[in-house]
Amino acid sequence: MKAREVDRGRLNAIIQESRGEKWGLIPLLQKVQEEFGYVPPVAIEPIAEAFNLFPSQVQGVITFYAGFSLEPKGKYVVRVCRGTACHVRGSRSILRLMRKELGLEEGQTSEDYQFTLETVACLGACFLAPTMMVNQTYFGKLSPAKVTSVLDQYRKA
């Protein structure tokens, strides 16, 4: 499988919906990211045009927020927490296991665009440490066994 071709028609339709809306830039970027899994770089110019901004300004907003990505990501984005609480409870081994299981380094996406591996500084759920997220779902009190079973669940899906 390859990264999806950007459906320009879909992209333009999303942009047109928000054209000229006040404070509409971030919600629009969120919609685009939701639709495509990332903000395709080709979206920068038309978005800038729709909001009367310079393309460089739009890029500035995208790259400022960790939540937006200009690169395609996997269907499942795995974020392993490397915050202090999780570190103390062994998140380093969780990450090591995850690397091995997925065959990915941090920041990488698998060739079939199924998985992206990332780390974050704290998921705000320290009481469940060590933690991770897959897309919008939290997983806590991780153990190697739990990690494998969670992954299997997504691999099948």
| Closer CB to another protein, 17 or 112, in the complex | 17
User: Contact at 8 Å (CB) between 128 and 86?
Assistant: no
Should residue 21 be labelled a site residue for another protein when binding is judged by CB under 8 A?
A: no
Each as own residue / partner, the long-range contacts of residues 5-9 (CB below 8 Å, 24 or more positions apart, any chain) are 6/36, 6/40, 6/42, 6/43, 8/42
Should residue 125 be labelled a site residue for ligand FES when binding is judged by CB under 6 A?
A: yes
Part of the chain binding another protein (CB under 8 A), chosen from 57-65, 77-85, 110-118, 132-140: 57-65
| Closer CB to another protein, 66 or 145, in the complex | 66
Of ligand FES, another protein, none, which one sits near residue 56, judging by CB under 5 to 8 A according to partner kind? another protein
| Closer CB to ligand FES, 15 or 82, in the complex | 82
Q: Tokens for 43?
A: 């979206």
Least distance (Å) from another protein to the CB of residue 100? 29
Task: Please tell me what DSSP assigns to residue 109.
Answer: B
Distance CA 48, CA 62 (A): 12
Q: Tokens for 5?
A: 């071709």
Of ligand FES, another protein, none, which one sits near residue 136, judging by CB under 5 to 8 A according to partner kind? none
4: left (phi over 0), alpha (psi -120 to 50) or beta: beta
Should residue 71 be labelled a site residue for another protein when binding is judged by CB under 8 A?
A: no
| Closer CB to another protein, 66 or 157, in the complex | 66
Cβ-based burial of 1 (10 A; exposed 0-12, middle 13-18, buried ≥19): exposed
Should residue 69 be labelled a site residue for ligand FES when binding is judged by CB under 6 A?
A: no
Should residue 112 be labelled a site residue for another protein when binding is judged by CB under 8 A?
A: no
Note the residues at the interface with another protein (CB under 8 A).
20, 41, 44-45, 52-60, 63-64, 66
